[in-house]
Amino acid sequence: MSDKKKIVVIGAGWAGLGATYHLVKQGYDVTLLEASPYAGGLVAGWKTPQGRSIEAGIHGFWYPYQNIFRLVRELKLHPFTPFTRSNQYSPFGLEASSPIFQEKPILPSPLGTFIYPEFYRLPLVDRLSALPLMYGLVDFDNSQEAWYRYDKVTARELFRQYGVSERLYNESFEPMLLVGLFAPGEQCSAAAALGMLYYFILAHQPNFDVVWCRGTVGEKIFQPWIKKIEELGGKVLTNKRVTDIMIDREGKAGGVVCAEEVFEAEAVISGVSVTGMKKIVNNSQNLGKYQEFRQLNNLGAIDIVAVRLWFDKRINIPLPSNAGFGFDRTTGWTFFDLNTLHDQYKEEEGSVIEVDFYHANQLLPMSDEEIIKKVHQDLILCIPDFVSGKIVDYSVVRVPQGVTHFAPGSYQHLLKVNTSIPNLFMSGDWIITNHGSWSQEKAYVTGLEAANQTINYFKEGKSANIIPVEKDEPHIEIARIINRNIRSLTKGFLPDF
């Protein structure tokens, strides 16, 4: 390309970095502006003054994150642990253990997901009450129509309507919603619940298998990735909070405002979170004129608290990755043995434990000391050996309004990659895409989609090849075809339930 097109990308999370990397590879002149001192967004890691690595929560990479896995191979990085098993605890102790599903004989989905985990207390009859929910999973095919159909209903109502037992809901589905969508069922869209559960758990037996970074994602993936972006000529500037997007007389984006600075651009890509975008819109001289941006104020976000604890001695923790339920009614939590997962802590004398709370609204006002006390008590209920451990250091990271809230009725307010401003493209884990992925993989995929729309707009460069999610298994595909046909046949004379 002789005359390089100038692109500004806002926000250096998976989405913004994904868009930036692809566009610099295609010869664009890209400047990525990040508000905070570190790139990486929710996945950034940093060090305490004592040199200890911390981050805003541990991040798993599930089996279907094929675009991220390909990126990591392309960058010649080896950041991941092997696939890990996980345990689930309640205040009564160990409740369930999950195997590595791909190591078990593969059964038609979702049979393996129901048969292979070991449940120590949950009766079979409760587990069987999930079967009618299969219809919801068949009916929800990630299409726009399906989103509108199910988005009006809460996930709690959906599980009740399908006859899922109270106990199965409380001990299995609600903890998954709290960890996967960061909210309890009565505050989650049923569409988001079905989409998330299908992607992570039910579509294919190995989907629930997960690997972790052998350190912070910041050091293991983002730092070398940014180095590569810079080698290719991209600029990644931190401490640059974008306050407005400039729109010219023709209704096109002409650049961004960053406090006193202006960065001119021929196209702009946003990779910021819902909360970040709302702040830009509410401060903007321009975006408030557009209904699609004004209505972002109908969207919400959820609070997170991430705690890292250093103990004086090693505590025997059976598995590195663990989830808890039944401790706080509307808060989910997970805990991780970092001596096993992170290279840095393998030789550490005492245990290093990460504990992440999702939908942590009521924890935010507590002091660090109160939070640490609560965490220690909860850990003791799960694994009594924690009683003998003394906490010698800790970090508490609060992320208010950090993650997207897929609330009932929120779908109508979410943005797509293309906006009514022809050269302003959106990306991030809250942007509508047909891809079917969630969380980090979705953020990265929508970043690539935004890059592809930029390429399409200028007709210069090669689009990124996005790996689609694995096809539905044949029996699900057939069930979906039959269901669609029945729906369209009965549309004329039956009310739409």
Ligand X SMILES: Cc1cc2nc3c(=O)[nH]c(=O)nc-3n(C[C@H](O)[C@H](O)[C@H](O)COP(=O)(O)OP(=O)(O)OC[C@H]3O[C@@H](n4cnc5c(N)ncnc54)[C@H](O)[C@@H]3O)c2cc1C
**Amino acid (one-letter) located at 38:** Y
Q: Is 11 in the site for ligand X (CB under 6 A)?
A: yes
Beta-carbon contacts of residue 257 (< 8 Å; ≥ 6 apart): 242, 243, 244, 245, 246
Instruction: Note whether 245 and 424 are within 8 A (CB).
Output: yes
- Using the rule CB under 6 A, which residue among 5, 7, 21, 60 binds ligand X? 60
Nearest residue (CB) to ligand X, 202 versus 305: 305
**Whole-number minimum distance, CB 429 to ligand X, in Å?**
4
Instruction: Note whether 63 and 272 are within 8 A (CB).
Output: no
Q: Is 42 in the site for ligand X (CB under 6 A)?
A: yes
Query: Per CB under 6 A, which region of 12-20, 78-86, 364-372, 450-458 contacts ligand X?
Result: 12-20
Q: How far apart are CA 322 and CA 58, in angstroms?
A: 12
Q: Is 13 in the site for ligand X (CB under 6 A)?
A: yes
Question: What pairs with residue 98 in β-bridges?
Answer: 86
Q: How many of the chain's residues bind ligand X (CB under 6 A)?
A: 36
**Whole-number minimum distance, CB 76 to ligand X, in Å?**
22
Q: How far apart are CA 256 and CA 261, in angstroms?
A: 8
Nearest residue (CB) to ligand X, 16 versus 254: 16
Residue 486 is inside which H or E element, if any?
Answer: helix 474-490
Query: Per CB under 6 A, which region of 6-14, 76-84, 285-293, 307-315 contacts ligand X?
Result: 6-14
SS3 84: strand
Query: Per CB under 6 A, which region of 54-62, 307-315, 359-367, 471-479 contacts ligand X?
Result: 54-62
The pattern of x and - marking residues 265 through 294 that bind ligand X according to CB under 6 A reads ------xxx--x---x--------------
SS3 40: coil
Question: What pairs with residue 332 in β-bridges?
Answer: 358
- CA 128-129-132 angle, to 5 degrees, is 105
Q: Is 15 in the site for ligand X (CB under 6 A)?
A: yes
Q: Is 403 in the site for ligand X (CB under 6 A)?
A: yes
Give Cα 491 to chain centroid, integer Å. Answer: 35
Instruction: Note whether 429 and 401 are within 8 A (CB).
Output: no
Q: Is 36 in the site for ligand X (CB under 6 A)?
A: yes
Q: What secondary structure does DSSP assign to 414-476, as a single string? A: --BSB-SSTTEEE-STTSB-SS---HHHHHHHHHHHHHHHHHHHHT-S----PPPPPPPPHHH
Q: How far apart are CA 400 and CA 308, in angstroms?
A: 17
**Whole-number minimum distance, CB 421 to ligand X, in Å?**
17
The pattern of x and - marking residues 206 through 245 that bind ligand X according to CB under 6 A reads -----------------------------------xx---
Q: Is 41 in the site for ligand X (CB under 6 A)?
A: yes
Instruction: Note whether 58 and 354 are within 8 A (CB).
Output: yes
Residues 424-463 that bind ligand X (CB under 6 A): 428-429, 439-440, 443
- Using the rule CB under 6 A, which residue among 5, 22, 25, 59 binds ligand X? 59
Nearest residue (CB) to ligand X, 204 versus 442: 442
Instruction: Note whether 437 and 470 are within 8 A (CB).
Output: no
Q: Is 35 in the site for ligand X (CB under 6 A)?
A: yes
Binding site for ligand X (CB under 6 A): 10-16, 33-36, 41-43, 56-57, 59-60, 241-242, 271-273, 276, 280, 304, 306, 356, 399, 402-403, 428-429, 439-440, 443
